[in-house]
Structure 1
Amino acid sequence: MDKLNNIIEEVLLKEKRNKFTFLTGAGISADSGIPTYRGSDGIWVKGTKFHKPEEFGTYKYFTEHQEEVWQYTLFRKKMIESAKPNKSHKILADLEKILNDRFHLITQNIDNLHRRAGNENIYEIHGNYREVKCSKICNKIIPIPNNITGKDIKEELRKDEINALKCTECGNWLRPNILWFDEYYNEKTNKRFSSLKIAKNSGILFIVGTSGATNLPLEIARTTLKYGGYVIDLNIEDNHFTELLKNKKRALIVRERSSEILPIIKEQIEKNLKKTI
């Protein structure tokens, strides 16, 4: 871990492009009991009893099966709401307090666990389950209606829930404010440009629990490297970032669980911060 410590020390001494950015994915929530999508034990690989992501996780499928998609979405919502932030979430919340405005968190997760752990400076690039928006032309993002709660997998929508899930302006279905597999990143929902600006000013980008299977996370990593930042891949398996980082001088690959490596990173940051005072 000497190389990691040296990188942290170097970035803490920089006056520009000195942000500490953490890019997180489903792997960081696995210890909270939420299945990953693309890990070796994820629902992308195994599916569920009733659905696979490539079936329900598209805008096209939603336009044809709104009630079914909402039924499954509310099943996932119930699972997420019953989960609790784990050790890794709490360490990232601590690091935000330690680093203040030098800390940024970009997450692919829609589970709200980072926010519940105490993080505030969060960019949710895949959206979240706290909000909905019109599925057609209105596109206004609003909090999910109060009467819409999590459900069991076979529990159907009530009539009052169906009514609450219709846009008050145009009458079309509301949809979860999340990124589906057949959609593109934008700034309004996905903070595309904001996250790339953060990457440009990052002295270190830590990649935690994500395989980089979608294009914006990879673009964030490329941007950090392009502008002279370090990229540290903290995952238990090789992934799409592995090829990108291979033979790069300003890259480091660490094959450890986030619960094991994040405490070390926190300790190294605290130790090196004391040196700069």
Structure 2
Amino acid sequence: MEKLKSILNTILKEKKGYLTFLTGAGISAESGIPTYRSIDGIWVKGTKYHRPEEFGTYKYFSKNQEEVWQYNLFWKKLIEEAEPNLGHFAITEIEKVLGDRFKLITQNIDGLHQRSGTQKVYEIHGSKQKVRCSKECSEPIDFPENINFKEYTEDLTPDDIDDLKCKKCGNWLRPHTLWFDESYNEKYYHFDTAYDIADNTDILFVVGTSGSTALPVSIVETVKIRAKWIVLINPENDTYFDDILRGCKTLYSIQESSSVALPQLKNIIAEIISS
């Protein structure tokens, strides 16, 4: 960590750009939420008869609303049973120390960053804590409190179905998340904001994500083109990010879990700030 400490010392003393964290499913896996594509992942458990690119689409939802909501209520059950871990709490403490220079962009839709106390979170894939009208007649709203979470095999009740309809127009509500056949946008998924943050980032910490979706890859590539520092924090070293950054002179890799690496990083940043 001595090299990283030297890098951070220079960046923090310059007092210019952002210190940005880009987090993915790996940080939440340590809280017991399976990642999407692992052998015990969400897609494997939840969609036995469907490929993700088929099931996780607006097209599929528009014809199979009850089935998709059964799956999402199972998903919500996993989220509600999970608790933020040491990695989440370390990021919260880093935000307190860095103030306006701190930015957090997350692919995660579980809300664990907010539950750990992080204030400013840009959720580029949406949030399971909210729903919106499938016909877009109104803004996203908080997830209805009176809907019970499900095991994947449980059917929706008539009351569930009623509560999952838009009170304004009567159409189905949908999860406030980005599906495979949808595009990023600023209104719901902070598309322009994410690029602006990347353009003004001095060091990007890529935590627990392999690079399987488009906007996170673009964020990393933007920082790379600007020749700013990128720190990969992941126990694996064979991800897509490892491939596209191989040979990069401004790359630093920490092959540790986020719950181990992030508390160490928090201590380094706090020590430099206080010195």
TM bucket by the smaller chain?
over 0.9
Query: Is residue 257 of structure 2 the alignment partner of residue 273 of structure 1?
Result: no
For structure 2, the 5+ residue unaligned runs are none
> Is the partner of 1:197 in helix, strand or coil?
helix
Q: Does the CA-based 8 Å contact 2:232-2:253 persist in structure 1? A: yes
C-alpha distance in 2 between matches for 1:133 and 1:231: 35
RMSD between aligned residues: 1.7
1:233-263 CA distance string (max 9 Å, x none): 1112221111221111111222211122112
Counterpart contact for 1:88–1:258, Cα < 8 Å: yes
Q: Letter of the 2:117 partner, please give it.
A: G
Aligned residues: 273
Q: CA deviation at 1:171?
A: 2.1
Aligned to 2:15: 15
Separation of aligned partners in 1, 2:46 and 2:31? 18
Inter-partner Cα distance in structure 2 for 1:208 and 1:15: 23
- Does structure 1 retain, via aligned residues, the 8 Å contact 2:58–2:182? yes
1:169-198 CA distance string (max 9 Å, x none) = 332211000011221111111111111111
Report the residue type matching 1:14 in the other structure. E
In the other structure, the counterpart of 2:59 is 60
Q: Distance in 1 between matches of 2:197 and 2:260?
A: 26
| Structure 2 CA distance for partners of 1:51 and 1:86, relative to 1, 3 Å | farther
Deviation at 1:229, TM superposition (A): 2.3
- 1:149-170 Cα distance to aligned partner (Å, 9 max, x none): 3112222212122122122333
Counterpart in the other structure of 2:153: 154
1:260 aligns with 2:264: no
Name 2:110's counterpart in structure 1: 111
Q: CA deviation at 1:274?
A: 2.2
Q: In structure 2, what residue type is equivalent to 1:3? A: K
Q: Please state if 1:200 is matched with 2:199.
A: yes
Paired residue secondary structure (2:34): coil
Match of 1:248 in 2: 248
Aligned to 2:218: 219
Matched residue, 1:100:
99
Deviation of residue 145 (structure 1)?
Answer: 2.0
Q: Is this contact kept in 2: 1:201–1:227, CA < 8 A?
A: no
CA distance in 2, matches of 1:222, 1:95: 24
> How far apart in 2 are the matches of 1:47 and 1:186?
29
Which residue of 1 is the match for residue 234 of structure 2?
A: 235
* 1:55 CA displacement: 4.2
2:127 alignment partner in structure 1: 128
Percent pairwise identity: 51
Query: 1:34-88 CA distances to partner (integer Å, 9 max, x unpaired)?
Result: 00113465345x4447455344311111011100100110011011001111111
Q: Give the distance between the partners of 2:61 and 2:8, measured in 1 at CA.
A: 45
Secondary structure class of the residue paired with 2:14: coil
1:133 offset after TM fit, Å? 1.1
Pair 1:232–1:59, CA change in 2 (3 A): same
**CA apart distance, 1:267:** 1.5
**Separation (CA, whole Å) in 1 of partners of 2:96 and 2:112:** 17
| Residues 38, 211 of structure 1: 8 Å contact kept | no
Name the SS of the counterpart of 1:13 in structure 2. helix
Give the equivalent residue in structure 1 for 2:4. 4
Inter-partner Cα distance in structure 2 for 1:158 and 1:181: 28
